[in-house]
Structure 1
Amino acid sequence: MGREISINGYQLEICSNSPQSALHAAQGGATRIEFCQNLENGGTTPSYGQIVQTRKLINIGMHVLIRPRAGDFVYSDLEFEEMLADIRFCKETGCDGVVIGVMNRDATVDIERTKALADAARPMHVTFHRAFDKCADPMSSLAILIELGIDRLLTSGLKNKAENGVELLKELVEYANGKIVIMPGAGVDSNNIEMILKITGATAIHSSAKDTVSSEMSYDRMEVAGMNEPIYMTSKEKVHQLVDILKKQ
């Protein structure tokens, strides 16, 4: 956590999906990254090589997404063991935190497994991710996360984009009352970051700040589908724009 400086009292987390994206986030002035891969499917846990390389590349906060697959957040015993193993590796590698989310079939927080993951992660920082946005009851779910001692909650306010969830986000910030950091995220950009922060009262915010990058292949065999799609990459310029806005708040 010592790597994370504030920007005029705010924390800016950038969701980065590769070592190159992480480097762009750091160069743009971000406070920390949420590190993942496969952002096209909502993000999954990055590989051993990506984690090791990125930790060497950046000196800002590095919080790794612990998500074994795309889809829902109800996990099998094997998947849960995989998550524990990934957390142990992140601790050994010197990561600053992990980002987790485990739900029950009835859309309540899986208390037992969330506690087990958080316990395994300490003394790293623990964030509960947007699995929360699928919960049945946001206030009772938030109360559970506070009781479990989770450090931070990434949420869009149960909407597709945070700008549409600002009223609930404001309620969550007020309910949390400093016991957990509420971090709005999803669709945050230079056009709405000021509005989201002003209405919600949040002091941490999350953005992918990404560009879509087309393939550099000069030849594509058209009769073979796929394997040449555009990819996402963190934009240093977009991160810098967000940082500049935060400096003026």
Structure 2
Amino acid sequence: MTRPLLEIAANSPASALMAQDAGADRIELCASLGEGGLTPTITTIAIARDRLRIPLYVLIRPRAGDFLYDDLELETMLGDIEHCVRLGCDGVVIGALDADGRVDMDRCRTLVAAAGCLGVTFHRAFDITSNPRQALEDIVALGCERVLTSGQQTSAVAGATLVGQLVDQAGSRIVVMPGAGIDSANIVRLRAKTGATEFHASAKRALASKMRHRPERLQDLQCGEVRSDGDEIRRLVEALRNVE
């Protein structure tokens, strides 16, 4: 039996390359991890695509906040997907809801169609759907490969019971991939409780600023970079390597 797959949410080409070198199986490239992730710049996507050997999926999310999008935001997402197709990415990560917390099938069908032959993951918009079991069936009907979820809780560990139920409901039709709060200390336990075969983690750490000139009055402009933690990713990979 092959070990479960590990996807890393990377916020830059440097983070993505660090994750690849540490043994990650796939990258979800995004910006603004602190806001739950937003679509990265075209140049960021292009550099990551040029340098990576492992599959690259790109988060398509035009703003922070909820997942109720208007026509202008849909147009923005379609343009971002077009760039991903042109640059040769392996997939995109999408999601849109209506005001009642249901999967917005019309907008999502449009996004999936724009992706063409690229793989499609439905992101954690799933976690604020009003009926997760029906939402899973809707996402299967859209033709998505997988859905990322914390089991509608603040972390995948807290939502493990629902994640396991969704894994059972999905069967072989779609991958249910837990994410949020996953680390090397809990991933094996989460695997045992949910039966999931793919896992999503950010494995990030804050780096101290290398600036020598640091005026005290503007400390808010001088925090260091957040980047993927290669050591933690290696621990995650090792933990998954040992699961049955």
Instruction: Give the TM-score taking structure 1 as reference length.
Output: 0.95
Alignment of 1:91-106 (within 5 A): 91-106=85-100
Unaligned runs of 5+ in 2: none
- 1:27 corresponds to 2:10: no
Residue of structure 2 in register with 1:204 after alignment: 198
1:37 to 18, 31, 36: 31
Alignment of 1:142-157 (within 5 A): 142-157=136-151
2:56 to 54, 59, 62: 62
- 1:233 corresponds to 2:227: yes
Distance 2:222 2:5 in 1: 35
2:12 to 8, 11, 18: 18
Distance 2:40 2:148 in 1: 19
Runs of 4+ in 1 over 4 A off after TM superposition: none
Residue of structure 1 in register with 2:123 after alignment: 129
Residue of structure 2 in register with 1:49 after alignment: 43
Distance 1:165 1:202 in 2: 13
AA matched with 1:76: D
Equivalenced residue count is 243
Percentage identity across aligned positions? Answer: 44
- 1:221 corresponds to 2:225: no
CA positional deviation for 1:182: 0.2
Residue of structure 2 in register with 1:120 after alignment: 114
Distance 2:162 2:201 in 1: 19
Distance 2:154 2:198 in 1: 19
Is the 8 Å Cα contact of residues 183 and 206 (structure 1) preserved in structure 2? yes
1:158 to 152, 158, 164: 152
Is the 8 Å Cα contact of residues 185 and 207 (structure 1) preserved in structure 2? yes
Distance 1:234 1:101 in 2: 24
Distance 1:26 1:225 in 2: 33
Residue of structure 2 in register with 1:171 after alignment: 165
- Give the SS at the match of 1:164: coil
Distance 2:79 2:100 in 1: 26
Distance 2:184 2:106 in 1: 38
CA positional deviation for 1:225: 5.5
Residue of structure 2 in register with 1:3 after alignment: none
Unaligned runs of 5+ in 1: 1-6
- Give the SS at the match of 1:99: strand
Is the 8 Å Cα contact of residues 210 and 224 (structure 2) preserved in structure 1? no
CA positional deviation for 1:61: 0.7
